[in-house]
Amino acid sequence: MQLYEIFLSLTIIFSGLADAWRLLSLGSITALGILTILSAVATWILLSARRKLPKAVLVVSGLVLFILQALINWVWYLPTGSLPFVNAVQNVSVLAAFVGLILLSTIQSYRTPGSPKFISDALTKATQLSAVLYGLSILITGPSAKIIMSPRSFALFAIVGVAWYVAAWRYRLPKALWWLGLIIVDIALSFSRTALLISLILIPLSQISLTSIKSWVRIGLTLVLIVTVSYLAFNYVEPIRSRFSDVGDNATVGGVKVNTSGRNQAWPIAYASALESPWIGKGPGSVGIVLVKRVGPTFPHPHNDYLRILHDYGFIGLTIWIFGYGQLITKTWQNWKWADRNDIKNSRIHLAAFLALAAVALAMITDNVIVYIFVMAPLGVLVGASLGSASFSKKLIHQSTRNLPLVSDMNKLAIKL
């Protein structure tokens, strides 16, 4: 296995431990913070050693522009001393690592014949490791266990794992449904509302077929089942009901008490602060300063990453992010639809990448996903695997139509590329 594949594999496997790395503290920064910074630095060092880049990396151009804007923004505000230095470094490092890992994974997947094993093996092992460890912690201390990793952190990593396994379930891979069930049960018992809802949404979404009426019927039946189970759980499982409505700030939505965990207070404050510097924002990590000062020390995050980007990087940064992220969603969707007809072996990777991007985009509405390396790193590697392997396969098929003598020998083609 090459150095690049080893690095990508270890990055994913380390992510399976979610925030368990925080148990190791080195002064003002935890081991998780150090791993975040090292991941970003190592990724871009390895990228600099790659001289030839496939055209597939062009789809990442929007997010590369976002990273440049974020760095300029940070340098602009750095002399003022108004930013929390450690938080700013960690926030920018996660984003830089995410984009860098997409690029690195794209390049490596493009050079790898067939299905990239570093994503298939590593993401499977990392997801299983995380699910088993959190399941054991639930058995030891009960639901919402925290002894190894925090419930929210596990659940946010797990939505990438759910995307991976619902894609495997669609293509009838062995034991996929069994692992999918275990992961969703773990998420439910973590009492993470956002992650559970997203996981349930991914199940029917994974069955989409624009040409099959049977698939739409299956989706409809699945939705009915999900709604029924959710209704019964909300009304008759007291711990779940109390997590949604009886604990916390008890805001009222449509006449129903809902625990917003402080969001109804924090979001207006963060938005009002963002409008004080609407175009370029106030710099990475600045939203945390405002919230700690005006909401309290227990609320250092806005629990809405779109609001975070708006506050820290302005309308310019938010526009670039949405454009760049939208490019990835569109491309992975296109890759999946193409592979479903022409490259069934890799269809799972493309579907999983599309679903994982959609899951994280949804999680950004109510959570702090983009500051967690254990979510964004595996997402970046998975998306890059889709971009690179699809480009490789399309080029192979294109050359085969021109009667080039390369189709029967994948390894020779990989060497020539």
83 DSSP assignment: S
Q: What's residue 413's pLDDT?
A: 43
The residues near 214 (Cβ < 8 Å, ≥ 6 apart) are none
What's the number of CA atoms in the CB half-sphere (13 Å) around residue 51? 1
Instruction: List residues bridging with 253 in a β-sheet.
Output: 256
The span from the CA of 149 to the CA of 135, in Å, is: 11
Q: Are residues 328 and 357 in contact, defined by beta-carbon separation less than 8 angstroms?
A: yes
Give per-residue pLDDT as tens, 298-347. 888 898 999 999 999 999 999 999 999 999 999 999 999 999 888 888 89
DSSP state letters, 215-279: HHHHHHHHHHHHHHHHHHHHHH-HHHHHHHHTSSS-EEETTEEE--TTHHHHHHHHHHHHTTSTT
Residue spans of the domains in the chain: they are 3-416
Distance in angstroms (rounded) separating the CA atoms of residues 171 and 160: 17
**408 residue type, one letter:** S
Between CA 377 and CA 356 the distance in angstroms is 12
Closest CA to 312 of 356, 274, 344: 274
What's the rounded Cα separation, in Å, for the pair 417 and 189? 47
- Indicate the SS3 state at residue 49: coil
**Chain-centre distance of CA 261, in angstroms?**
22
Report the chain's C-alpha Rg in angstroms: 22
The pLDDT assigned to 229 comes to 56
Sign of CA dihedral 285, 290, 295, 298: positive
- State the pLDDT at residue 238: 54
340: exposed, middle or buried (C-beta count within 10 Å: 0-12, 13-18, 19+)?
Answer: middle
**Could you list the mean pLDDT of each consecutive 10-residue stretch along the chain, which spans 417 residues?**
87 94 78 91 92 88 96 91 86 96 94 78 95 95 92 96 95 91 94 90 81 62 60 53 51 49 84 94 92 87 94 96 97 93 89 97 94 96 94 76 50 44
Check: CB of residue 43 under 8 Å from CB of residue 98.
Answer: no
Amino acid 414: pLDDT: 42
SS3 category, 320: helix
Tens digits of per-residue pLDDT, 77-103? 988 878 888 889 999 999 999 999 999
pTM over 0.85: yes
Cα dihedral sign for 260, 265, 268, 274?
A: negative
Res 207: pLDDT: 80
